[in-house]
Amino acid sequence: MEDEIIEDPGCQINLDKGQGRIINAKWCDDIRAVCSLLVIEFSCTDKLYFSESGDTYLTYLNIDWIPTVNSEIPTSDGNWRYNCRCAPKSIYTYVHTPCLNTSLLANALGLQLLPSSEILDIKCPVINMRAGLLMQEFRRQSFNDAFLSQDFGNAYFIYINSQYLYSVTWKTLMNSEAFLLQSNELLVGQNTIKHVSDNIETEFKTAVNPQVWKQDDFLFKMFREKIDVIGPYPGAFTKMYSITFSDSSDLDMNEKFMCIHSSRDLKKPSGCVSTFARVFLSEKGNPVSTI
């Protein structure tokens, strides 16, 4: 007699097995986050229980997701509707041993280091914290050191994309070969292109000396010129691009931009949103482009 497979009681619902009806689903990657995010709305017959401890989760796309925000509504037909913002389950893993580099951090989380990663030393390893908080702290430490050396290129980018941990310096990201972002002739008119200028708002929103800077203070100051593209294909997250558009030559750019945000509507084939930013690093205290 074969052993019966017992499912993890922490899994509240497995949407890959048809245990609920998916209404909306969107996959998001953003440079300010430490991991990929899933925003999903679904209905099911049973009431679900998501605890604040992170021990309960949902499964979708063969990935276990912890709802960081969730709302539930009982429907008139006796079912339940949920709207959740989720992070990969590994982001909630407690790290109990000091990780002296990002390879050891990946091992502690049961993840592989992405092959294109660099093994980065961790200056002040912290223990007994969840992985997501640790990654934010390690990134902040590196930004502080990079700020003192007046070169944000030495700061760390550490990120989880559900299966892999990616660690690399900003200098390496920016020196990578640029893709050509160019509208295919068959797609003329299908892209919505928006140039975003938010320099003034950035000056008011971010910290100035002698305040203690948070990670977002560094990142917001690095991204001072942006292009939003809405169309059928997402940009490759963190990759560099040269931008030309057959839809509108007025928005063609002669410099390289980084894809700092990429989201995909999993229910709408044309619902991809990508944000490309010109990245500025600090040189002698002045924000200048290194491209």
Q: What pLDDT does residue 279 have? A: 84
Q: Which residue has the higher pLDDT, 286 or 269?
A: 269
pLDDT tens by residue, 64-78? 999 999 999 999 999
Kindly indicate the confidence band of residue 188, based on its pLDDT and cuts at 50, 70 and 90. Answer: very low
d(Cα 78, Cα 256) in Å, to the nearest integer? 53
d(Cα 150, Cα 92) in Å, to the nearest integer? 33
d(Cα 279, Cα 6) in Å, to the nearest integer? 49
Q: How confident is the prediction for the chain on average, in pLDDT?
A: 83
Q: What pLDDT does residue 221 have? A: 76
258 three-state secondary structure: strand
pLDDT tens by residue, 244-257? 655 555 555 557 88
Which residue has tokens 């998501």?
A: 50
In the chain, the percentage of residues whose pLDDT exceeds 90 is 53
Res. 122: pLDDT tops 90? yes
d(Cα 155, Cα 164) in Å, to the nearest integer? 20
Kindly indicate the confidence band of residue 186, based on its pLDDT and cuts at 50, 70 and 90. Answer: very low
Instruction: Give backbone dihedrals phi and psi of 179, rounded to 5 degrees, phi first.
Output: -80, 160
pLDDT tens by residue, 101-113? 999 999 999 999 9
**β-pair partners for 67:** 86
b/e per residue, 259-279, with b = 16+ CB within 10 A?
A: bbbbbbbbeeeebbbbbbbbb
Choose the weakest-confidence range: 50-54, 62-66, 114-118, 200-204: 200-204
Kindly indicate the confidence band of residue 147, based on its pLDDT and cuts at 50, 70 and 90. Answer: confident
End-to-end CA distance of the chain: 65
pTM of the complete model: 0.83
204 three-state secondary structure: helix
pLDDT tens by residue, 5-55? 446 779 999 999 999 999 999 999 999 999 999 999 999 999 999 988 888
CB neighbours of residue 252 within 10 Å:
12
Residue 21 amino acid letter: R
Instruction: Examine residue 210 and say whether the peptide bond preceding it is cis (omega within 30 degrees of 0).
Output: yes
Q: Which residue has the higher pLDDT, 222 or 287?
A: 222
Q: Supply angle C-alpha 58, 136, 155, rounded to 5.
A: 135
Q: Which residue has the higher pLDDT, 52 or 3?
A: 52
How many residues would you count in the chain?
Answer: 291
- Exposed, middle or buried, 81 (CB in 10 Å: 0-12/13-18/19+)? middle
| C-beta of residue 41 within 8 angstroms of C-beta of residue 66 | no
